[in-house]
Amino acid sequence: MSNNMSDGFLDGIHRKINRKKQQRAMLNTLGTLVVTVIITFQVSNIIHHSKLVELANRIEQNSESFHAYDALFEISDDKAADYLIDEMEIYDLLQIAEEDIQNTDLLKTIIREG
Amino acid sequence: MMDDNELISKFQTGDEDAFNVLVRRHEDWVRGFVRSSIGNREDADDTAQNIFVRIYFGLAKFRFEAEFKTWVYRIIINQINNFYRKQKLLSIFRGELTDNLHSVEPGENDGRKSELMRWVAKLPRGQRNVMILRSFQDMSFKQVAATLSISENSAKVSFHKAKNNLKRMINVK
């Protein structure tokens, strides 16, 4: 009788121990999950930030190259051609080239006709 | 027969049966102690089980610096205090006094003792701990001090204050 009571008491203890173990396991899982989410969030922030820095650097470089042309006091034909190729739309470039050809033709006609 | 420390060492190396042996060895006096402090048998057994659950999870960190029984006494005192705290909170929520705290089953306990426990439960925690160990466990002041990690003089002072408070409470009644 006493042994049965003792077994019941011991069983009760083990039931409580198992419940507590489950609670602890659940808390650990939850904790790991929260830490993972926080780390993921932080890493994505870092990646996003580094991408922004990269983009800002690229923009800065581009604006520097643009200002480099502006800063030249006298532009050689080669530099001017580079500038036009780099910065202008192809249609504008073709238009200027066409105008140049027309101007040259007009000049040749004037010289020829005297 | 293995002593407590050997059983604890076995448990620490993964032998779960060693814990069962410890429970069977200490169950009677732990349950008796808790029942003398918490009159209600059901609550007392529930608290005693909680004490052994605490022991189970605490044994992994047991460093053999104190005697096992002294360490168990500390856990018992903490659990009894937790029980009183919960009862106090419940009584606040229910808006009633904790008079049912020691609703002792008939014939289970000596009437005078249960009456005294009713008053002891109302003492401040420190005084109550000393009173329980000194009066209900017949411990010397030295043992009380070692169990509660206080000085022997503090134990004596707390006991003296507890006695005076009990006298006052009973006279007011």
Q: Say what the ipTM of the complex is.
A: 0.72
Same-domain status, A5 and A57: yes
Same-domain status, A92 and A49: no
Mean pLDDT of B129-154: 88
Nearest Cα of chain A lies from the Cα of B161 at a distance, in angstroms, of: 37
> Which of B5, B81, B84, B19 has its CA nearest to residue B55?
B19
Same-domain status, A79 and A69: no
Q: Token pair of B36, please?
A: 């003398």
**What's the CA gap between B148 and B74, in Å, rounded?**
6
Same-domain status, A67 and A21: yes
Phi then psi for residue B56, to 5 deg, are: -55, -50
pLDDT for res A24: 94
Same-domain status, A69 and A110: no
pLDDT of B29 over the 60 cut: yes
pLDDT of chain A along its 114 residues, tens only? 456 656 789 999 999 999 999 999 999 999 999 999 999 999 988 888 888 888 888 887 776 655 565 655 666 777 777 776 777 777 776 777 777 777 667 666 766 665
Same-domain status, A23 and A65: yes
Mutation for testing the B interface, residue in A2, A13, A18, A20 having most B CBs under 10 Å: A13
Chain B residue numbers with beta carbons less than 8 Å from the beta carbon of A10 are: 20, 23-24, 27
Same-domain status, A36 and A92: no
Average pLDDT of the residues of chain B: 84
Of residues B105 and B61, more confidence is placed in B61
* Chain B touched by A10 (CB under 8 Å): yes
> Which of B99, B137, B133 has its CA nearest to residue B119?
B99
Same-domain status, A64 and A93: no
pLDDT for res A6: 66
Domain with A55 in it: 1-74
Please give the full DSSP string across B14-33, using - where no structure is assigned. T-HHHHHHHHHHHHHHHHHH
Same-domain status, A6 and A23: yes
Report CA B21 to chain centroid distance, whole Å. Answer: 21
pLDDT of B93 over the 80 cut: no
CB contact under 8 A, B49 and A6: no
Mean pLDDT of B44-57: 95
**What's the CA gap between B29 and A30, in Å, rounded?**
39
**Confidence band of B105 (pLDDT split at 50, 70, 90):** very low
**Confidence band of B92 (pLDDT split at 50, 70, 90):** confident
Same-domain status, A19 and A62: yes
Same-domain status, A3 and A21: yes
Q: Token pair of B52, please?
A: 């052994």
pLDDT of B74 over the 80 cut: yes
pTM of the model: 0.63
The DSSP code for B105 is: P
Query: What percent of chain B stands above pLDDT 70?
Result: 87
In chain A, the number of structural domains is 2
CB contact under 8 A, A16 and B45: no
Same-domain status, A69 and A81: no
